[in-house]
Structure 1
Amino acid sequence: MPTGVPMGDARERLFDAADRILLRDGPSALTSRAVTDEAGVAKGVLHKHFADFDGFLAAFVLDRADRLDERAAALLRAAGSGTVAGNLAEALTAVFGSVAVAVVALVTFRDELRARLRETWPAGVPVLTEIAVMIRDYLAAERELGRLAPGADPEGLAPMLVGTAHLLFGDRTGAPPTEAAVRSAVDGVIGAVLV
């Protein structure tokens, strides 16, 4: 196996390999050997760049949380266009149809990982927290534009939407929810505050 992989390339190869394993086999299959085999690198590559496997997993989870920034910016740009429910349903489907649900399962699955993440992520579960912030900011923008009632509470609605979407997408082995099911769930949460 090659060991002369540059750090940036190694990180991405290892993170992408972790994505594939999580999506295909779930968090219990995520081991250092599985990741390096999937990435096509020697096991020492992972340990050369990360202090230990939990260090790798913490960096992986935080990287995936950071990747939500682009999705959050796109959702915020959508404020005032389309429909509020349509924009939310599309955004929730995009983030929960990705590796996000599997990352949440991974964080829940590994006590050591949660402890490591607490060093840099003081509250909530990375990825879910970022999604909630993304939804909250979007709802606040829509309220400012007058598309949500003045009394709408983005701070309270966002976690309700995230929790609802997580329940819809939580079964990684079954068929994903239909577009109509996601839209219906979103309508159920925000319907009373739409203007």
Structure 2
Amino acid sequence: MAPTGVALRDVREQLFGAAERVLLRAGPNALTSRAVTEEAGCAKGVLHRHFADFDAFLAELVLDRIGRLDARGAVLCAAAGTGTVVGRLTDALTELFGPVALGVLGLITSRDALRARLRRTTPVGIPLLTEAAAVLIAYLTAERDLGRLAPDADVDTLALTLTGAGHLLFAGHEDGPPEPEAVRRVVVSVIGGAVREG
């Protein structure tokens, strides 16, 4: 329990939720410890009681979101063999690149100290994008093993291409996410030659 009697997980979630709202409303440059605590409706000291400094808080926010991505990846892999590969990947990209994920990616790319701290857990690539690609690699591997992708399909390259194309497609839309058909066209362009389902 935290000194206030509130469970630590509840405080973290309250602060993370507040950070996401600030990020979505005003962008990464507006994300300060004061903005987060004001949004959360708590004293500034609450954040510093639970995190060594603001960069530690931001790193934990990103790691928490990566953990959520991993959980969604497990669900995606469990769905291998059902639906269509194109449909599953279209849905996965739409979920992977939602507004919060794009905001967190903007935060990661705009803060050198945060990126340096995250290098401990994501030594190569861009945190969150690297883990998103790993989720897609695992799913595509499962589908290849089930025979729904060509046996020689290069799942690593396909996943990296989907991740990069998905990020560019979603980040380029200021007025909301792209239409599902636009996402589907990207998926078909990337994996269409490898798909072996009816």
TM-score, normalized by the shorter chain, greater than 0.5 = yes
Bigger CA drift: 163-172 or 83-92? 163-172
Separation of aligned partners in 2, 1:99 and 1:159:
21
Return the alpha-carbon distance in structure 1 between the equivalents of residues 111 and 175 of structure 2: 23
Using the size of structure 1 for normalisation, the TM-score is 0.94
Q: Specify the alignment match of 1:122 in structure 2.
A: 123
The aligned runs of 1:17-166 (5 Å cut-off) are 17-166=18-167
Deviation at 1:126, TM superposition (A): 1.9
Taking structure 2 as the reference length, what is the TM-score of the superposition?
0.93
CA distance in 1, matches of 2:177, 2:99: 11
Q: Which amino acid in the other structure matches residue 106 of structure 2? A: A
Q: Are 1:178 and 2:170 an aligned pair? A: no
Letter in structure 2 aligned against 1:88 = L
Shift of 1:98: 4.3
Quote the offset at 1:172 in angstroms: 5.9
Shift of 1:92: 0.9
The one-letter code of the counterpart of 2:83 is G
Whether the aligned pair in 2 keeps the contact of 1:89 and 1:182 (CA below 8 Å) is yes
In the alignment, structure 2 segments of 5+ residues that lack a partner are none
Distance 2:172 2:19 in 1: 19
Point out 4+ residue stretches in structure 1 off by more than 4 angstroms: none
Distance 1:83 1:109 in 2: 37
- 1:89-138 superposed Cα distances (whole Å, 9 cap, x missing partner): 00110121241111111000001111111133322222111111110011
Which amino acid in 1 is paired with 2:29?
A: S
Q: Residues 141 and 127 of structure 1: is their aligned pair in 2 closer, same or farther, counting only changes over 3 Å?
A: same
Aligned residues: 193
Q: State how far apart, in whole Å, the 1-side matches of 2:194 and 2:169 are.
A: 22
Cα distance, 1:171–1:39 mapped onto 2, change above 3 Å? farther
Structure 1 residue matching 2:126: 3-state secondary structure: coil
Equivalence for 1:190: 191
Question: Please, what is the CA RMSD of the aligned residues?
Answer: 1.3
Superposed displacement of residue 171, structure 1: 3.7
Partner amino acid for 1:135? L
Flag the 1:172–1:25 CA change in 2: closer, same or farther, 3 A. farther
Q: Is the 8 A contact 1:23 1:172 kept in 2?
A: no
CA contact (8 A) 1:57 1:113 kept: yes
